[in-house]
Amino acid sequence: MDFGRSALIVIDVQNDFCPGGALSVKGGDEIVSPINSIMNKFYRVIATQDWHPEDHLSFASNHRGKSIYDEVEINGIKQVLWPAHCVMGSNGAGFHPDLDQNRFHLIIRKGTDPQIDSYSAFLENDKKTKTGLEGYIRSNNIEEVFLCGLATDYCVFFTAMDAAELGFKTTVILDLCRGVDMPENNIRRSINIMIGKGITMINISEIL
């Protein structure tokens, strides 16, 4: 496989999304070493971090009478309420300690505005506010993006969908992702939607 001017986007491989974290994704730590092993294949490596203030609207603890995983509507946008996670500057917001940060060309921090959540690495959940990633990719003449990380059915999914919508050739390295699967079967549903959008699914063996 020829990677040419391609970018690897490593999504939210942070302590709070790994086992023992505030919003643990099952097997989230299993993908760290394999991700390290493929970074040198790509022209650019971009990493994302959830980076929330303590009063972020996505935290169930900031909504009186609401529980974790409740869904509410705020400013016309549906919002799942999560445990408090990836609070900016905290250990939980840090990258997994075994992730090779020396290979990163760019780090995108998202979800920094207390009034809006951001699953995608390209656009916040209002689908208008840009993170700057699109401009970086276009200015570097990157032709294709490969995605891996956490979680398959949320931040990987929304990043992939936006990448495809923006016209980038988009590939998800499926065995280098792990999902929340909330609600049940959400991982399979998300994969099917991505495939329907023309997004390619591969495994690490096709890279190595």
Taking only the tens place, the pLDDT of each residue in 158-200 is 999 999 999 999 999 999 999 999 889 999 999 999 999 999 9
* Number of domains comprising the chain: 1
- Mean pLDDT taken over the chain: 96
pLDDT given at position 103: 96
Q: Is residue 65 part of a domain?
A: no
Q: Is residue 76 part of a domain?
A: no
CA 159, CA 171: separation in Å to the nearest integer? 11
pLDDT given at position 4: 86
Are 8 and 1 in contact by the 8 Å Cβ rule? The answer is no
pLDDT given at position 44: 97
Residues annotated as catalytic are 12, 110, 155
Taking only the tens place, the pLDDT of each residue in 73-125 is 988 999 999 999 999 999 999 999 999 999 999 999 999 999 999 999 999 99
Is residue 34's pLDDT more than 90? yes
Q: Is residue 95 part of a domain?
A: yes
Q: Is residue 141 part of a domain?
A: yes
β-bridge mates for residue 72, sequence order: 79
Task: Give the Cα-Cα-Cα angle 73, 75, 79 (nearest 5 degrees).
Answer: 35
pTM of the model: 0.96
| DSSP line for 190-201 | HHHHHHHTT-EE
Non-local CB neighbours of 151 within 8 Å, separated by 6+ positions: 12, 17, 25, 28, 177, 178, 179, 180
Is residue 66's pLDDT more than 80? yes
CA 193, CA 132: separation in Å to the nearest integer? 25
Are 131 and 137 in contact by the 8 Å Cβ rule? The answer is no
Give the range of the structural domain holding residue 25, as residue numbers without chain letter: 6-53+90-206
pLDDT given at position 18: 98
Reported as type and span, the H/E element at residue 135 is: helix 133-139
Q: Measured between alpha carbons, how far is residue 25 from residues 6, 29, 40, 91, 117 in Å?
A: 27, 9, 26, 17, 19
Q: Is residue 21 part of a domain?
A: yes
Q: Is 127 left (phi over 0), alpha (psi -120 to 50) or beta?
A: left
Q: Is residue 62 part of a domain?
A: no
Q: Average pLDDT, stretch 134-138? A: 98
Q: Is residue 63 part of a domain?
A: no
pLDDT given at position 197: 98
Please report, for the domain that includes residue 156, its CATH number.
3.40.50.850
Q: Is residue 23 part of a domain?
A: yes
